[in-house]
């Protein structure tokens, strides 16, 4: 079933069949807590059958793409690490565009960020670093904040994986990477360059990896303030699913809107499939991919 009040929740002037590239969020879209969303395997099977390229994109900086791929494969999908971009991997990619190879970088973050930085050829160092890179870190100390601020005041670039102030955990709402960035910004007097959603870099990196065109790319997510706002800023079409954190009431009150809203990925897949069949070239595409 589609959401109620369809005329308000669906862009009736756009055609899902025209999209050949998808950037999808994960938590709240592909899984919830530790459980896969119903229809997850069929959703990815549909994307493969229709030759729709996709990238799974997340602001989570703590986990490497390989671990996320392992999780998705344990759910029965065939998603590979190359089809996953995290705020850590996008941050490491961004560093290669602004720093010389082998540069010293001071990192506050967990293994997902540290391994991404090292894999791109940078040296993690507490001294003489020319960039400070910050993600979520469960073991954050005052001395780390002090060192980061000292380096930034000395001219080091200040880069954050994402600016999520909080996120939900088993014990409730807890501080996110944005809270750490705020402390360092206060101590240094310098605003960070932020890579994750809703900023442009994460989506831009995902599109670059797919060699995607803007008019053929659609963003899928469950959060208005990250997934959908990021799409709006890049002039990308967007799809919101109501299987995550956003409610209909929040949607109606939002200053920025997705182009489509569906209950979940099964609802989306069903509508997307019908859109392809209704498209003049839909049946040809189905036969070609069969």
Asked if residue 8 has pLDDT above 50, the reply is no
What is the percent of the chain with per-residue pLDDT over 90, rounded to a whole number? 85
In terms of domains, do 102 and 50 share one?
A: no
Distances (CA, A) of 172 to 34, 63, 175, 288: 16, 20, 10, 48
pLDDT value of position 172:
79
Q: pTM of this prediction?
A: 0.88
In terms of domains, do 188 and 206 share one?
A: no
Residue 76 falls inside a structural domain: no
Are residues 231 and 220 in contact, defined by beta-carbon separation less than 8 angstroms?
A: no
- Short-list 24, 56, 5, CA closest to 272: 24
Q: What is the pLDDT of residues 180-199, one digit of tens each?
A: 999 999 999 999 999 999 99
Burial 19-51 (b: 16+ CB within 10 A, else e): bbbbbbbbbbbbbeeeebbebbeebbebbeebe
Task: Check if 27 is active-site.
Answer: yes
Q: Which of 132, 167, 194 is the last residue of a domain?
A: 194
Residue 148 falls inside a structural domain: yes
Q: What is the pLDDT of residues 90-109, one digit of tens each?
A: 999 999 999 999 999 999 99
Cβ within 8 Å of residue 223, ≥6 positions away: 25, 28, 197, 244, 245, 246
Q: Which of 146, 172, 194 is the last residue of a domain?
A: 194
In terms of domains, do 112 and 171 share one?
A: yes
Residue 82 falls inside a structural domain: no
Specify the pairing of strand 217-221 against strand 123-124: unpaired
Neighbours of 71 (CB within 10 A): 17
Residue 264 falls inside a structural domain: yes
pLDDT value of position 284:
41
In terms of domains, do 216 and 156 share one?
A: no
Please identify which of the residues 15, 27, 70, 281 carries the catalytic annotation: 27
pLDDT value of position 63:
92
Q: What is the pLDDT of residues 71-93, one digit of tens each?
A: 999 999 999 999 999 999 999 99
Domain count, the chain: 2
pLDDT value of position 154:
97
pLDDT value of position 14:
54
Residue 73 falls inside a structural domain: no
In terms of domains, do 51 and 121 share one?
A: no
In terms of domains, do 242 and 177 share one?
A: no
Domain containing 171 — which CATH number?
Answer: 3.40.50.1000
Average pLDDT, the chain: 91
Q: What is the pLDDT of residues 208-249, one digit of tens each?
A: 999 999 999 999 999 999 999 999 999 999 999 999 989 999
Residue 78 falls inside a structural domain: no
In terms of domains, do 233 and 271 share one?
A: yes
Residue 32 falls inside a structural domain: yes
Residue 67 falls inside a structural domain: no
Q: What is the pLDDT of residues 109-148, one digit of tens each?
A: 999 999 999 999 999 999 999 999 999 999 999 999 999 9
Asked if residue 290 has pLDDT above 50, the reply is no
CA-CA-CA-CA torsion sign (28, 34, 38, 41): positive
In which domain, by residue range, is 27 found?
A: 6-59+198-289
Please identify which of the residues 25, 137, 164, 259 carries the catalytic annotation: 25
Neighbours of 153 (CB within 10 A): 13
Q: Which of 142, 170, 194 is the last residue of a domain?
A: 194
Asked if residue 66 has pLDDT above 70, the reply is yes
Q: Report the 3 state secondary structure along 46-75.
A: HHHHCCCEEEEEECCCCCCHHHHHHHHHHC
pLDDT value of position 169:
75
């Amino acid at each position: 079933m589609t959401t109620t009040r369809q005329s308000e929740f669906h862009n009736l002037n756009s055609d899902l069949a025209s999209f050949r590239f998808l950037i999808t969020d994960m938590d709240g879209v592909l899984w919830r807590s530790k459980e896969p969303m119903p229809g997850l395997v069929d959703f990815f099977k549909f994307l493969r059958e229709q030759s729709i390229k996709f990238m799974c994109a997340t602001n989570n900086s703590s986990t490497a793409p390989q671990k996320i791929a392992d999780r998705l494969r344990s759910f029965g999908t065939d998603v590979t690490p190359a089809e996953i971009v995290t705020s850590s991997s996008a941050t490491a990619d961004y560093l290669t565009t602004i720093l010389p190879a082998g540069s010293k970088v001071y990192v506050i973050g967990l293994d997902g960020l540290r391994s991404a930085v090292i894999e791109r050829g940078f040296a993690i160092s507490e001294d003489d670093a020319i960039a400070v890179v910050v993600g979520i870190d469960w073991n954050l100390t005052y001395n780390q904040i002090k060192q980061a601020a000292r380096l930034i005041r000395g001219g080091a670039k200040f880069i954050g994986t994402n600016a999520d102030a909080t996120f939900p955990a088993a014990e409730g709402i807890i501080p996110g990477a944005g809270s750490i960035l705020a402390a360092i910004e206060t101590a240094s007097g310098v605003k960070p360059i932020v890579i994750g959603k809703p900023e442009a870099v994460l989506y831009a990196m995902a599109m670059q990896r797919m060699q995607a065109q803007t008019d053929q790319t659609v963003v899928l997510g469950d959060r208005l303030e990250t997934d959908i706002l990021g799409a709006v800023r890049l002039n990308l079409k967007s799809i919101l699913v109501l299987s995550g954190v956003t409610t209909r009431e929040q949607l109606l009150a939002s200053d920025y809107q997705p182009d489509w809203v569906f209950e979940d990925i099964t609802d989306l897949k069903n509508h997307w499939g019908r859109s392809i069949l209704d498209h003049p070239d839909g049946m040809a595409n189905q036969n070609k991919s069969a």
